[in-house]
Amino acid sequence: SDTISEGKMATSMSLWAVVLLIAAVVTPADGLLMPTLAVHSGRLLPLRSSVRSMALRSAVKMSVSRREAIATAFTAAITLIPSAFPSAANAEGGPYTLPPLPYPYNALEPYIDETTMKFHHDKHHQAYVTNVNKVLEGKPVVSLVELQKGAIKAGPAIRNNGGGHYNHALFWKTMPPADKSGAPSPALAKAIEASFGSVDKLGEAFAAAAATRFGSGWAWLGVAPDGKLVVDSTPNQDNPLMEGAGCKAMIPILGLDVWEHAYYLKYQNRRPDYIKAFMSVINWAEVSSNYEQYAAKGVPVPV
């Protein structure tokens, strides 16, 4: 239809704009000449000029440092290509749905910014939901928790998207508004002291797991088969509920997303700063409930 065609054209234009913007920022001034693009009557027209001649490039070079310029390009990319991700409004039906955030987008400020929360929840998480629903079309429906167990064996589509859905659904609930972090319950505090020595020592172990996860992935706090609390990390969208995940056996009660999309707008390459900030927005009441009601009894946390 005309609407679909216009949508595809808009997405194409946006993607080209992103490519040119990032190229303009990261290419040295005497670097490669590339054709720019202009929009005329709904079409893209090539112009015989160079990226370095673009007014946008000049403005960026004069006003910000290279690191700030890269962050600017990253922000612009997110602004320009929302149509490249599925949204709640156009997501197809299926067994799973995107859970709403249990707080406003800006509730985690100043630790996690509003803009990041919007595209992380509405675009990235929605994409995992939409994609896993497509993969499971026509197949028997199982709970999201049940899906995790055999996700690796089921193949990359379910492993990545089913895992991404579960991980994020748990993630949102284990963060509260910044002034409501609270403290571990007596039962969880006792378990933390027995396994790590103190809450501070747990924080150090958790931060180390998150900081040393190479590339993208998650850090986890969970209950091991022997009942003790353990910390570990997994790559990509894997989680400890998956058979063959390659991490310590545990039922996770807290997870931290260390993919760059979770923090780059505010923290750029400073992952340790993001991890430190996260420690200020842990919903200890929720984590305590995950421990007492589920994991300590050997039951995976439902989301």
Tens of pLDDT, residue by residue, the chain (303 residues): 333 333 444 444 444 444 444 444 444 433 333 333 333 334 434 433 343 444 444 443 444 455 555 454 554 444 444 434 444 433 457 899 999 999 999 999 999 999 999 999 999 999 999 999 999 999 999 999 999 999 999 999 999 999 999 999 999 999 999 899 999 999 999 999 999 999 999 999 999 999 999 999 999 999 999 999 999 999 999 999 999 999 999 999 999 999 999 999 999 999 999 999 999 999 999 999 999 999 999 999 999
Other C-beta atoms lying within 10 Å of the C-beta of residue 76:
18
Task: Identify whether the C-beta of residue 280 lies closer than 8 Å to the C-beta of residue 181.
Answer: yes
The whole-number pLDDT of residue 93 equals 74
Locate 36 and state its tokens: 């720019």
Closest CA to 79 of 21, 165, 8: 21
Task: Return the bridge partners of 234, or none.
Answer: 218
DSSP code of 88? T
pTM of the model: 0.74
Residue range 214-223, pLDDT digits in tens = 999 999 999 9
Closest CA to 233 of 261, 271, 260, 205: 205
The whole-number pLDDT of residue 99 equals 98
Closest CA to 251 of 164, 141, 102, 148: 148
Q: How far are the Cα atoms of 174, 206, 242 from residue 275, in angstroms, in the given order?
A: 14, 9, 24
Residue range 153-204, pLDDT digits in tens = 999 999 999 999 999 999 999 999 989 999 999 999 999 999 999 999 999 9
Sheet strands side by side (includes 251-257): 229-235, 217-223, 251-257
Question: Under the phi-then-psi rule, with left for phi > 0, alpha for psi from -120 to 50, and beta for the rest, what region is 236?
Answer: left
Q: Which residues of 255-293 are buried (b: 16+ CB within 10 A; e: fewer)?
A: bbbbbbebbbbbbbeebeebbbbbbebbbbbbbbbbbbe
Locate 173 and state its tokens: 């609930």
Encoded amino acid at 40, one letter: H
Closest CA to 259 of 126, 138, 168: 168
Q: What distance in Å separates the CA atoms of residue 17 and residue 23, rounded to the nearest whole number? A: 10
